């Protein structure tokens, strides 16, 4: 998944709080959101509007931010209520570092996972050739 695909997926699931989001989708979205916010804030200040456009940007994207965060928590098997802790200063940094960077757990009560079911692995049928 690249940044463009992540942004399309998150905005396409604007208010979808069900399912799962993998690490690439979440972190590419975070990067796009932060870069977008910096650009909007710079334009706002250049136009002499203070932080008005930045505030509008934040309000417009709060729902997809929370939705992708809930889906990311679902991906590691945590309930949506964990998102409430993300709004507590300093606690949110610890949670982000520990949980949001954790890899997918595989199938859980929230679904198969963002990559779909894993391909079954079969052991090789013939033993490898001995070294010469």
**Cβ contact 3:30 at 8 Å:** no
- Residues near 67 by Cβ (< 8 Å), separated by ≥ 6? 10, 13, 14, 15, 16, 17
pLDDT of residue 126: 60
pLDDT of residue 49: 87
Tokens of 94: 């610890």
pLDDT of residue 61: 95
Choose the most confident range, by mean pLDDT, from 23-27, 35-39, 125-129.
Answer: 35-39
Helical spans, DSSP H, in 14-125: 23-46, 52-75, 91-95
Q: What confidence tier does 119 reach under pLDDT thresholds 50, 70, 90?
A: very low
Does residue 36 carry a pLDDT above 80? yes
Helix (H, G, I), strand (E, B) or coil at 34: helix
What are the tens digits of pLDDT across the range 62-116? 999 999 999 998 888 888 888 888 778 887 788 778 887 888 877 887 777 776 5
Does residue 128 carry a pLDDT above 70? no
**Cβ contact 92:85 at 8 Å:** yes
DSSP bridge partners of 111: 108
Tokens of 111: 């679904």
């Amino acid at each position: 998944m690249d940044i463009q695909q992540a942004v399309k997926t998150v905005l396409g699931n604007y208010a979808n709080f069900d399912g799962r989001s993998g690490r690439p989708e979440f972190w590419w979205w975070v990067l796009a959101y932060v870069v977008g916010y910096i650009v909007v804030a710079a334009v706002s200040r250049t136009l002499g509007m203070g932080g008005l456009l930045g505030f509008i940007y934040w309000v417009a994207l709060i729902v997809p931010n929370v939705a992708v965060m809930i889906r990311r928590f679902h991906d590691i098997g945590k309930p949506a209520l964990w998102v409430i802790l993300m709004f507590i200063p300093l606690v949110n940094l610890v949670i982000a570092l520990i949980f949001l960077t954790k890899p997918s757990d595989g199938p859980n009560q929230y679904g198969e996972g963002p990559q779909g079911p894993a391909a079954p692995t079969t052991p090789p049928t013939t033993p490898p050739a001995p070294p010469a």
